[in-house]
Chains A and B, each alone.
Chain A
Amino acid sequence: MKFLFYLILILLLVPVQTTLLPHLSVWDIKPDLGLVAAALIGLFTGELEGLLVGLTIGWILNLFSAGELWLSLLTNGGVGLLAGFLGRQVSQVTAFSLGGVLVLVSLVSGLLAAINFKGFDVSQMWWMVESIVFPQACLDGLVGAGFYWLLSRRFDLTRLRAD
């Protein structure tokens, strides 16, 4: 049942991220739903499942992007793992704290991508950070926090995490 849920989630994530989100982008910046999904799954199911689902999401989304595969695997797998740890170690995760973690992870991932771009000088890299990396990190954090808040309104998340 869980496998089916993950399969549907991953299959739907690609068209939503590549086809629908460009219409809903804010100043041409769209959130990384893969990152948000990996974080939420890691938070509720633990490190191993978060890692595996994160890696799968990273791999599949990377098939539909010109980005580097290692970065996608590292970011999505890493956030799943990190969220798993967070879920186990912290008794009361709030939408705010989850959003903060997502902002940080997204920033690190964006900075790594900017450094990885060949032939970029400092001014170009700075332009990328202030116009793409930073706004996207904020958006990722906001969307992640929003999803968590919506889920917390609907379900008893502390019990869900304990289960």
Chain B
Amino acid sequence: MWMAYSSSPYGTRRIALACFALLLVAIFLFPNQIQGLLQYLGGPVGYVVRIPLEAIASIDAGIADRWEQYVALQGVREENQQLRKEIEWLRGQHSQLRESAAATERLTTLLRFKEQALPTMVAAQVIGRDATNRYRTIILNKGESDGIKPDMGVVTPAGVVGRVVKTTGASSVVLLLTDPNNAIAGLIQRTRDEGIVEGTQQGLAQLKYIPLLSTLRDGDRVVTSGLVGDFPRGLMIGTITHIEKQEGALFQSAELIPEVDVGRVEEVLVIQTSYGQASKAGSGANLIEKSSP
């Protein structure tokens, strides 16, 4: 590396430095305004960027599909047998659950509970992952034009995936359940103890702030509490695998294995209105999927 005579006109260099300095000052003096302005300008940009993004995502999905269909078929026979056994077991469980569902229905009628509207949801496809390595996020092919806004909950039929943190006109960014920056109100299904579910650095989740007297144990299921945020009550979050109780601590915490494999999720549902909001807005009584991905 040799030092050389600078051939750059001083004017250009000064302009560049002045621009950069001005931008720095503006960002630090008016962070929210600058962020808001750039986010607003990013709305229409999202439509333009979505075109190559969706094209490459569909090619990528096509290749992955072929791979799964033809190449990665090793061990499928064993897996099939295992799944058949699971189906048998689940059939037994299913009939029991139907019984208890019927009983619940009768009891609900007896108690004259208010009929609650189920949430309105929008189906979306995963078209990418976070542009950096520092966050665990997924990018969806639906955005503001489809009614998606920041803080909306994102789920699959299996359980919670995360929540929307950023939107453009045609896409949105979802912070996954396993990201340490995420926090969702959770409830241990068996003991009814509440806590906060946060992601861990290892890509799992943990339930924090569980009361010391809670009788939780490994294998307990954690669901959304529905008290905070845009998630309705009772959506599956994960299963407790390890309990941590420190000497002198005010609370205990537990490690969870998320119910949804967020690393492989391809289609999701974005919750637009929760139970309460849906009933206020007079929405239908069924889970409404506005559009397909």
Contacts and interface: CB of A to CB of B under 8 A. Distances in A.
A67 B132 CA distance: 8
Contact of B16 (A30, A84, A89): A84
Contact of A63 (B17, B168, B175): B168
A51 B131 CA distance: 20
Nearest to A114: B134
A128 B200 CA distance: 12
B246 interface: no
Size class of the contact patch on chain B: 35 or more
A108 interface: no
Contact of A90 (B4, B129, B133): B4
Size class of the contact patch on chain A: 35 or more
Given A63-B166, A113-B134, A47 B52 contact: no
Nearest to B167: A63
Contact of A15 (B2, B53, B135, B201): B53
A85 B6 CA distance: 9
B212 interface: no
A11 B3 contact: no
Contacts of A12: 52
Contacts of B171: 63-64
A20 interface: yes
- Ranked nearest first, the 3 interchain pairs of A and B with the lowest CB-CB distance are A91-B4, A18-B128, A47-B16
Interface of A: 11-12, 14-20, 22-23, 28-30, 32, 34, 46-48, 50-52, 55, 59-67, 69-70, 73-74, 77-78, 81, 84-85, 88-94, 97, 110, 113-114, 117-118, 120, 124, 127-128, 131-132, 136, 162
Given A11-B48, A69-B35, A92-B4, 10 more contacts: A17-B131, A20-B56, A20-B60, A48-B16, A51-B20, A66-B173, A67-B131, A69-B39, A118-B181, A124-B180
